[in-house]
Chain A
Amino acid sequence: MDYASALALGVGFGLPLAVAFAATAQGRAAAAAAESMARQPEAAGDIRGTLIISLALIESLVIYVLLAFFLLNGKLPAIMDYVQQAGQ
């Protein structure tokens, strides 16, 4: 496997991997928050604030990966160059 195909795999699979784990984590956080809101409706305001902040903290990790994705995406060779190179 040469450099470009390894890079393409990294670019393609990095972000979905991060999204999958972060979605699991966010789902757990939201489920726990909904459960505790149902149990204690008078504390719903506090729980909602905590939920938003913790969701943002989880989300920010995905955003870091998104930035890495954009950085790596710029390093991929243009497709026509690659086709010409393969043809030679």
Chain B
Amino acid sequence: MHEEHGSWLNAIVHMLPESVQHHYVDIFVVNSWLVIILLVLLAWLGTRRRQRKPAGLQNVWEMYVEWVRSFCRKEIGPDGEKHVPLLGTIFVYILFLNLFGLVPGFITPTMTLNMTLPLAVVVFLWVQWSGVAALGVGGYIMHFVGQPVWLAPINIPVHVTGEIAKPLSLAIRLFGNMFGEETALVQMAALGATIFAATYIPFPVQFINVALHLLVGPIQAFIFFALSAAYIKMATTHEGEEHHEEGAGEHDEAQSAEQAV
């Protein structure tokens, strides 16, 4: 039995031939295509007539890009600018995916693991590639071997497991949050229907869940984005460098303590 979710797109999908719609069309994927088209349209509208004194949509995009740039510089380091295209795309894409279910008649594509796992795999591949690019093949392998070289038989399996667990936890976190949110919303709507059947008072019980959804969607998008940045930082810095940074931090603290005195 083909599982169906309430969406206006079902009517369009049903017009396709049977063999196509059962094997190639997933309603979540169609919704994500709509999000992609929407984002492309917004980007095109924002950059169509660029002015030196930005107004309207161009202003929004410039603020967004500026924010992502400063975030990457702060989190990843001075070299973080080259990760801006991927990370910025991921944030705005997941944000729109998460909030798309709030538009009546559409569904949240991120409530399936099929949607979130590919995003996490993209981040995983990018993290590994940027690790190789930043440290070289030897440095990348030494990253897995760890600091005392004679502990390599223990360190390598631990590090490999950790690297595989990162995208899995990214995907499952986003999927679980969105799926839980949507399930709670459906249950509350069903409760509202039950109340209506018993008392004939229409009462929107799911209202508070919709408000919560507005809060959780952006937060989860930000978390996916921030954790991706943190993973990139972990993969592209030497383990020795962190000690330097800690030393610098202590130095700063000592300085500020002196100033306070």
Contact = CB atoms under 8 A, between A and B. Distances in A.
Contacts, number: 34
Contact of A53 (B169, B179, B180, B227): B227
B226 A67 contact: no
Nearest to B75: A49
Interface in A38-88: 49, 52-53, 56, 59-60, 63-64, 66-67, 70
Given A63-B180, A66-B180, A70-B183, A52 B173 contact: no
Given A60-B169, A70-B183, A52 B176 contact: no
Contact of A64 (B172, B179, B222, B223): B172
A63 B181 CA distance: 11
A49 B225 CA distance: 12
Contacts of B176: 60, 63-64, 66-67
The DSSP consensus for interface residues of chain B is helix
Contacts of B230: 53
Interface string B155-190: 000000000000001001100110110010000000
Interface in B180-231: 180, 183, 219-220, 222-223, 226-227, 230
A63 B219 contact: no
Nearest to B177: A63
Contacts of A66: 176, 180
Interface of B: 169, 172-173, 176-177, 179-180, 183, 219-220, 222-223, 226-227, 230
Interface of A: 49, 52-53, 56, 59-60, 63-64, 66-67, 70
